[in-house]
């Protein structure tokens, strides 16, 4: 692990807003760090703590959930429920000694391609500052 730390981030994006915004960032050719990889979910209401835990277990340094703006969820309150799960898991992470900042929730609309790129930058910066996840395999090797 002598080389520079390259964080691995998984983003769960809802198909209506965040995933569309990510596509829009693409069509606008906005450049952002390549270490964020997106998993499409139908609504952030589908986001479950087990999915984030799996990502951390596999070696992700950070996980974020991105859904529609509050009040604009295609399924009314899926994004609010996701926020509650994120809040809950953040506390649990803290309890087991993992920085809660490794998990986050963002809200944006489908037309906010630039905001999507900004979020990637923001979150990558946070994770870079925190360094590798303590769960990460082969960390000692």
Question: Residues interacting with other proteins, by CB under 8 A?
Answer: 8, 10, 15-17, 19-20, 22-32, 34-35, 37-43, 45-48, 50-51, 54-55, 57-60, 71-78, 81, 85, 109-111, 117, 137-138
Q: How many helices (H) and strands (E) does the chain have?
A: 4, 4
Q: What is the dihedral of CA 93, 94, 98, 99, to 10 degrees?
A: 110
Length of the chain: 141
Distance CA 98, CA 79 (A): 24
Distance CA 47, CA 53 (A): 11
- Minimum CB distance to other proteins, residue 15 (Å): 7
């Amino acid at each position: 692990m002598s080389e520079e730390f390259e964080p691995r981030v998984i983003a769960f994006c809802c198909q209506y807003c965040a995933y569309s915004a990510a596509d829009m960032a693409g069509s606008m050719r906005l450049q952002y760090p390549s270490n964020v990889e997106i998993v499409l979910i139908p609504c952030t209401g589908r986001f479950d703590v087990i999915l984030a835990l799996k990502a951390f277990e596999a070696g992700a340094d950070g996980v974020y959930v991105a859904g529609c703006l509050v009040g604009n969820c295609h399924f009314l309150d899926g994004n609010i429920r996701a926020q509650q799960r994120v809040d809950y898991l953040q506390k649990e992470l803290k309890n087991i000694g993992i920085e809660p900042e490794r998990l986050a929730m963002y809200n944006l609309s489908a037309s906010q391609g630039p905001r999507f790129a900004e979020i990637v930058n923001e979150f990558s910066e946070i994770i870079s500052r925190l360094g590798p996840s303590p769960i990460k395999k082969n960390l000692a090797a």
